[in-house]
Amino acid sequence: MAESTTDVDQSLLLERMELIRRFETRVGELFADNEIPGFVHLYIGSEAVAVGACSALEESDYITSTHRGHGHALAKGLDPKKMMAELYGRTTGYCNGKGGSMHIADVDAGMLGANGIVAAGTPIGGGAALASQIRGDGDVAVSFLGDGATSNGPYHEALHLAALWDLPQIYVVENNHYGEMTSVHDQHPVSDLVKQADAYDVPGEIVNGQDVEEMYEASQEAVERARDGDGPTVIEAKTYRYKGHYEGDPQWYKENEDLPDWRTADPVETYSEKLIDAGVISEDEYEELGESIEKELDEAVEFAKDSPLPEPDAAYEGLYAEEL
Amino acid sequence: MATTPTVDTDGETEEISVTEALREAMHEEMARDEDVFLQGIDVADRGGSFSVSEGLLDEFGPTRVRDTPISESAIVGTGLGAAAAGMRPVVEIMYSDFMGVAFDQIMNQVALMRYMFGGKLDIPLTIRTVDGGGFSAAAQHSKTLHSLAMHLSGIRVVAVSTPYDAKGLLKSAIRHDDPVFFFEHANVFNKKGEVPVEEYTVPLGEAAVLEEGEDVTVVATQAMLYEAMDAMEQLEGDVDVELISPRTLDPLDIDTIAASVDKTGRAVVVDETPLMAGAQGEIAAQINEEAFWRLDAPVERVGVPNVPIPFSPPLEQEVIPHSGDIVTAIRNTL
Ligand SMILES: Cc1ncc(C[n+]2csc(CCOP(=O)(O)OP(=O)(O)O)c2C)c(N)n1
């Protein structure tokens, strides 16, 4: 195996990816059992992208996320219990049951929200980066967006402004090759979305989004550049959406697809094998990790189910900071 | 009483859903006029998020049934430009919430172009979109926003409840030479009803009196029509309700509504837009202007209180109006 060149805690990378994989798998099952209302978009297959990027961040740094946000939230260190409670619509959830899957947020953890509006997080991340530039506190913001989202105006306006003002912002374009039911090739004139960064004279890099260390290193570099005042970076992470657009999507459109099925380079499997081969962890330890995460998830589900549903009157709470 | 409003027609009818009705309207209009084309996210291969455009791609091909990138400003703006250049586009905004992304094109371009240019060009553009909550999709996918469109002079606004109206009004909207914002409601797509087999249209700007009654006029839009019918059932034998579906909100057929209030002396307006500056307020104000001296009680409004739509089911059920709220409002007028 390749010698690791990073200073990162490799077991932590694996742990975080494993947590996301198992959290999402569990959510898929719960959703199929009608335990979770609304709709959910799962992140399975792209764990290395969120974990690689967020591992290059400090707690005080910011991220903005997408409709497929559970992985980003977990990678930024959010508590699976409170996330599960939110998915169940309970008072103990991150948004007290007001937000659900698509709006999980924890400002204290620098997580400025999953977002139901495609590309909407990109200028918001720019604003967080602007605040830290004005305050001079050295924080950076990572804005995740999908391949599909790169055709929406707010992304280009945000990128333009970040480039013009050297904002400490990193755009992680998760190219999972689909936007809803349409393949990336049918939505974009360019094959590599990173080319869009050229137009703004922003450094861009293509990264194998299935390789958590490669993702970490690219992010680390971009974060350094941002902290040094050298402005934004676009990272295009090539990855794959294992599941449908949403849970329950029959995925008929994937059948005749000429895209490679990237499941052969599963980010969690390959990395666990790599760490076991390198003796960073043993097989037993890896198994134990899985078991302890399952236990944590059992507890999260139990916590969610035991938590009260909001009283109807709570619908009117939290709209304004001040009563008038 | 009937579970879906009945249709007065001499000819043969078929029972279809609102989704099928909209689909038939699209098919018929695209077959009738080759200037009609459709564009939006996943409207071609997938047939749209709510299956309305299923089959159109096979019949009319990819030039006229176009999947777009996720670019709402461009979806609406190019529709506008094509309309100005003589086509008759139908554009789809997947959820009305996403019209926010395209709002400059809607508010400053679509609505103003004809008037600002001296009335010298037609904009035969139809914007189809989906309104409504009730399925735990949270605040960014559940809003009811036709009151926002009503606020814009220069755009006609349609919001339908029944298959008959959905088909007849979509056909009229497509043939109309001004922009029409056509709101489909997520909770009415599956509603079924009788629709003539023969070709027909429903004119823009005409309300429908669906049930005649003596005691109170209930004006109800979209899914709220079904809640109002539920309320009527609960009050049967007690209160005799006259039920009106406005169908077109701009222009509003206030004559039909006021004539009803003349008879009943009471009015309840039910609509899923937020109460603050909502469609209910506009309709109530027009009732006051046209029938004030016939009113025996203040006009009652039923709508979403002034909060976003929350995710958790008990919260969402709290803010979206139900038949019980309509029963209470009706009783308040008696
Ligand atoms: C402005 C806007 N338009 C449309 C949608 C509907 N929508 C939700 S997710 C999605 C696809 C996004 O694709 P991509 O950015 O590639 O992310 P992925 O789902 O692949 O993670 C679309 C079109 C939306 N949420 N917001």
CA distance A112 to A119: 13
| Closest chain A C-alpha to B94 CA, distance in angstroms | 11
CA distance B28 to B51: 16
> B141, B146, B176, B185: which is the annotated catalytic residue?
B141
Radius of gyration of chain A (CA): 19
Phi then psi for residue A79, to 5 deg, are -85, 120
Q: Residue B154's closest CA among B124, B188, B183, B113?
A: B113
Task: Supply the ipTM of this predicted assembly.
Answer: 0.94
Q: Do A315 and B46 touch (CB under 8 A)?
A: no
Characterize the bridge pairing of strands B300-304 and B65-67: unpaired
Provide the pLDDT confidence category of residue B6 given band limits of 50, 70 and 90: low
Interface of A with B in 236-255 (CB under 8 A): 253
Q: Residue B24's closest CA among B161, B199, B205?
A: B199
Residue type, B55: G
Percent of chain B whose pLDDT exceeds 70: 97
Q: How far is CA B62 from the centre of its chain?
A: 28
Instruction: Give the DSSP letter of residue A106.
Output: B
Element (H, E) at B216: strand B216-220
Q: In what order do the strands lie in the sheet with A233-238?
A: A62-64, A141-146, A169-175, A233-238, A204-208
Buried b (16+ CB within 10 A) or exposed e, A240-257: bbbbbbbbeeeeebbeee
**Residue A189 CA: distances (Å) to CA of A125, A154, B269:** 26, 18, 49
Sign of the alpha-carbon dihedral angle for A267, A269, A272, A275: negative
Q: Do B317 and A312 touch (CB under 8 A)?
A: yes
User: Which tens digits make up the pLDDT trace of B106-148?
Assistant: 999 999 999 999 999 999 999 999 999 999 999 999 999 999 9
Q: Do B311 and A186 touch (CB under 8 A)?
A: no
E strand map for chain A: 62-64, 141-146, 169-175, 178-179, 182-183, 204-208, 233-238
Contacts of A313 in chain B (CB under 8 A): 318
Whole-number pLDDT of residue A166: 98
**Alpha-carbon dihedral angle through residues B184, B189, B193, B198, given to the nearest 10 degrees:** 60
Measured between CB atoms, which of B97, B101, B314 is closest to A312? B314
Structure tokens at A109: 């953890």
User: Is residue B141 annotated as part of the catalytic site, yes or no?
Assistant: yes
Contacts of A99 in chain B (CB under 8 A): 138-139, 311
Does B108 touch chain A if contact means CB atoms closer than 8 Å?
no
User: Which tens digits make up the pLDDT trace of B214-249?
Assistant: 999 999 999 999 999 999 999 999 999 999 999 999
**Residue B1 CA: distances (Å) to CA of A168, B105, B107:** 64, 44, 42
Neighbours of A230 (CB within 10 A): 13
Ligand 1: which atom is nearest the Cα of residue A175?
16
User: Is residue B199 annotated as part of the catalytic site, yes or no?
Assistant: no
Measured between CB atoms, which of A37, A151, A181 is closest to B136? A37
Provide the pLDDT confidence category of residue B9 given band limits of 50, 70 and 90: low
**pLDDT, block means (10 residues), chain A with 324 residues:** 64 98 98 96 98 98 98 98 98 98 98 98 98 98 98 98 98 96 92 97 98 98 98 97 93 71 88 98 98 98 98 97 93
Structure tokens at B102: 């395209």
Does A320 touch chain B if contact means CB atoms closer than 8 Å?
no
Element (H, E) at B90: strand B88-93
Whole-number pLDDT of residue A3: 44
* Residues B323 and B230 sit within 8 Å (Cβ to Cβ): yes
Does B37 touch chain A if contact means CB atoms closer than 8 Å?
no
CA distance A199 to A188: 15
pLDDT, average across residues B36-58: 97
On whether the pTM is more than 0.90, the answer is yes
Q: Helices A267-277 and A47-54 meet at what angle, rounded to 10?
A: 60
CA-based nearest residue in chain A for residue B136: A38
Q: Look at residue B161 and tell me whether its pLDDT is greater than 80.
A: yes
> Which of the listed residues A40, A42, A67 should we mutate to test ligand 1's pocket, taking the one with most ligand atoms within 8 A of CB?
A67
Q: Which of A221-230, B8-17, B91-100 has the lowest mean pLDDT?
A: B8-17
Whole-number pLDDT of residue A295: 98
B70 Cα: distance to centroid of ligand 1 (angstroms): 7
**Residue A323 CA: distances (Å) to CA of A10, A95, A317, B274:** 49, 20, 11, 19
Whole-number pLDDT of residue A8: 87
User: Which tens digits make up the pLDDT trace of B182-200?
Assistant: 999 999 999 999 999 999 9
Whole-number pLDDT of residue A2: 40
Does A60 touch chain B if contact means CB atoms closer than 8 Å?
no
Whole-number pLDDT of residue A260: 66
Q: Look at residue B319 and tell me whether its pLDDT is greater than 60.
A: yes
A180 Cα: distance to centroid of ligand 1 (angstroms): 6
